[in-house]
Amino acid sequence: MRALFAATFAVATAIAFAFLLLPIVAIFSRVPIGHLFAQLDDPVTLDALAVSLKTSAIAHACVLLFGTPPAYLLARRRFPGRAAVLTLVELPLVLPPAVAGIGLLVAFGRFGLLGRHLHAAGIDIGLGTQTAVVLAVAFVESPFYLRGAVAAFEAVDDDLIAAARTLGAGPWRVFLRIALPLAAGGLGAASALALARGLGEFGATIIFAGSLQGVTQTLPLAIYAQFDQNLDVALAIGALFILVGVGILIALKVFGWVRFVSISPFRPAASTSS
């Protein structure tokens, strides 16, 4: 029975990894290394890379800044309607990208619910603006971070929070010195997942912001634009996108671990010589 169990799980694992890795391997098998590096001199690729990195960085910073406090609140407080609030947080996860794009358009576009007032004040958000790209990316990646952050804060031992409060620590000190360091691992994982989702955003961006080279055309939009024109170029941009994504995810994981070790109250004390 043990041999059958081990064989079953080994086969299932091999199939799962093969399914996930085969498309990536197929892309790199079609893109020579020389062709990949040649794309670094292509204006379309460079512009799309710059737009993707800039808008994703701004959107992700906003998600972390405005998403961490409510995640902590939802994790540590029990109140009537909490389940409904969590459902609203998760709702964008099940929305098709086209619905998200249309929703953002009628909310923040020039003639949208809020956009008309912004337009009257001289602020335009919508087609042809990088602000629209930032909003689209932030909208689609927010629930990935929020749900993961809530779970990370829920995993923090209640006794430690209670002990800190008993010892006189205020809410800010408890949050910054206890809850945040202990939840750092989960927060880092949620952050990486959200950033990856934001980098790959396509549908909401093209509907809400459009696809203008050097302005709103991100790497996914550049791949789509090149798909009908030159498949080799689209594959090369796709391979570059994969490398950028891998680099960012590794950097986030390394930074999260280093940050956790540096601020964790449970890190080993430095040895002192007698």
Q: What does the DSSP assignment read for 82-114? A: HHHHHHHHHHHHHS-HHHHHHHHHHHHSTTSTT
Which pLDDT score is estimated for 261?
55
Cβ within 8 Å of residue 224, ≥6 positions away: 202, 206, 211, 234
Which pLDDT score is estimated for 146?
95
Give the span between the Cα atoms of 162 and 271, in whole angstroms: 30
H or E element that contains 184? helix 184-199
Average pLDDT over residues 254-264: 57
Cβ within 8 Å of residue 8, ≥6 positions away: none
Going along the chain from its start, the domains and CATH numbers come out as 34-263 (1.10.3720.10)
Comparison of pLDDT for 252 and 226, the residue scoring more:
226
pLDDT higher than 70, residue 221: yes
Q: Indicate whether this model's pTM tops 0.85.
A: no
Q: What is the pLDDT of residues 122-144, one digit of tens each?
A: 888 878 899 999 999 999 999 99
Q: Which two tokens stand for residue 220?
A: 């996914």
Quickly tell me which residue has 């950033």 as its tokens.
Answer: 195
Reported confidence tier of residue 264, pLDDT bands at 50, 70, 90 = low
Q: With 0-12 CB in 10 A as exposed, 13-18 as middle and 19+ as buried, what is 215?
A: middle
Average pLDDT over residues 237-251: 82
Question: Which runs of E-coded beta strand occur in 6-163?
Answer: none
Which pLDDT score is estimated for 109?
87
Give the span between the Cα atoms of 72 and 145, in whole angstroms: 12
Which pLDDT score is estimated for 217?
94
Q: What is the largest CA-CA distance in the chain?
A: 73
Q: Which amino acid is at 30?
A: R
Reported confidence tier of residue 260, pLDDT bands at 50, 70, 90 = low
Which pLDDT score is estimated for 44?
85
Integer-rounded Cα radius of gyration of the chain = 22
Reported confidence tier of residue 262, pLDDT bands at 50, 70, 90 = low
